[in-house]
Amino acid sequence: MDYDFLIIGAGTGGMAAAKKAASYGAKVALIEKEKVGGTCVNRGCTPKKLMVYAADFALKEPLAGSYAWQECNRQLDWSLLMKKIHTRLENINNSFKKTFAEKGIDLIYGEAKFTGKQSVKVKDREITADKILIAVGGHPIKPDFPGSDLAITSREMFQLERVPEKIAIVGGGYIGVEFASIMNAFGAEVVFMDTSKLILSGFDKTLRQEVQQGLINRGIEFIAETTAEKIESEEDKFKLYLDNDRNIIADKVLLATGRAPNTKNLDLDKADVETGDKEEIKVDEYYRTKNQHIYAVGDCIDRIPLTPIAKAEALAVVETLYGKKPQSIDYDYVASAVFSRPEAATVGMSESSARDKYGDQVQYYYNSTTSMLYSLADDAIQEQIVIKLVTVGIEEKIVGAHMVGEHAADMIQCLGVAIRQEITKDDLDNSFGIHPTIGEEFMSMY
């Protein structure tokens, strides 16, 4: 065998697995057909968060006057911002490659295709391995309607030459919501839509309502319960047809309607690896496929498509193989965030899912307040903070925590650790908050 451990896909999961396996003394190689770092680093989480930070300066500008700062005429240089972001991403890529070299991990560029149960081909090279991990991630998909090829996806959002004057966004999931928020802050006219009445399907209803209203308050138009049917090119713009007989003319149309696993071109049948209806790879609780030599993790197995989950699954595979400690992941209480403005974050069960499971045992606590940051601002630029706890039983064990407002992701991240340890409402009540902070509000909910 050429390698002990061969990994297809150098995203977050693949990189974590490679470094951990190498630390156990395994001979490791990574195959990547694009750039190391995968979607998250190159065309997802990292560049998007940098765009969020850039957009925040525009949102804070009106607030500065409330704190007696004099007006100034700032202008965004979009091309410079994009250049700086891509330079940062290139630096991250180089850092990854340096780490691989230091740890003796071979990095092989090209598209991998299976040729057997323990072998793949990259370009003209046949590579064999004792164990193989598939961590190829996913890609944005476009709905099948006339003219959908004229639209862009999240991938192309990081290649825009300028901020569009008007953008239409189809899809009210976290990707559509985040880009609606970003583009609005950069000065674009934003219209976004979803097939549901509320955005962010799967999140707690209170959170969904608050984020949706927050976006509307910022001047974003939301069209509920509608479906895109057709896109036509109209001179240098695009015309989007909706099923409610409305037409929208925009400079760009973003389709943020879902993602699919990157498994189609792997020739998995030659490796005796099974896939499901969504082309996701079927694995057991230890991420092992039907082929005992091949494992799969991350978005390509279609469980929870989050970067930390892919990393955790990948590390579990390495511990199973080389740490001699079979591991699987507990998917309860996985925290997630939506980096829109207002920001939202959640961990655990929504109120409705808790009631479906526990019925009348469910109690919830809710509080809405104005951030101290906005206490000097006029009513036109106020922003509410909303927090919600979902508890179960006489002991009021906390099974869900949800927040909308500044620093929501950071606070829910920390609270998630406590909720995994089955804390109760009394545990929070008997803790001391730091004053004056937003976090202390969680310690005083009645």
Residue-range domains of the chain with CATH: 3-139+260-321 (3.50.50.60), 148-257 (3.50.50.60), 336-443 (3.30.390.30)
CA–CA separation, 393 vs 100, rounded Å?
50
Give the three-state DSSP class for 336: strand
> Residue 325: what pLDDT?
86
Q: pTM of the full predicted structure?
A: 0.96
Q: What are the CB-based long-range contacts (under 8 Å, 24+) for 357-361?
A: 358/392, 358/393, 358/399, 361/392, 361/393
Of the listed 86, 139, 293, 435, which one is catalytic?
435
**pLDDT less than 50: residues of the chain:** none
Cβ burial, residue 77 (10 Å; 0-12/13-18/19+) = exposed
Contact 134, 294 (CB under 8 A): yes
- The b-or-e profile of 147-157 (16+ CB within 10 A means b, else e) is bbebbbbbeeb
Contact 157, 163 (CB under 8 A): no
- Using DSSP bridges, classify how beta strands 252-255 and 138-140 pair: parallel, antiparallel or unpaired: unpaired
CA 275 to chain centre: 23
The question of whether 407 is a catalytic residue gets the answer no
| CB contact set of 22 (below 8 Å; sequence gap of 6+) | 28, 103, 104, 105
> Residue 380: what pLDDT?
64
CA–CA separation, 140 vs 97, rounded Å?
26
> Residue 281: what pLDDT?
98
CA 358 to chain centre: 29
CA–CA separation, 19 vs 318, rounded Å?
10
> Residue 294: what pLDDT?
98
Phi first, then psi: what are they for 159, rounded to 5°? -120, 10
CA–CA separation, 313 vs 308, rounded Å?
9
CA–CA separation, 340 vs 408, rounded Å?
11
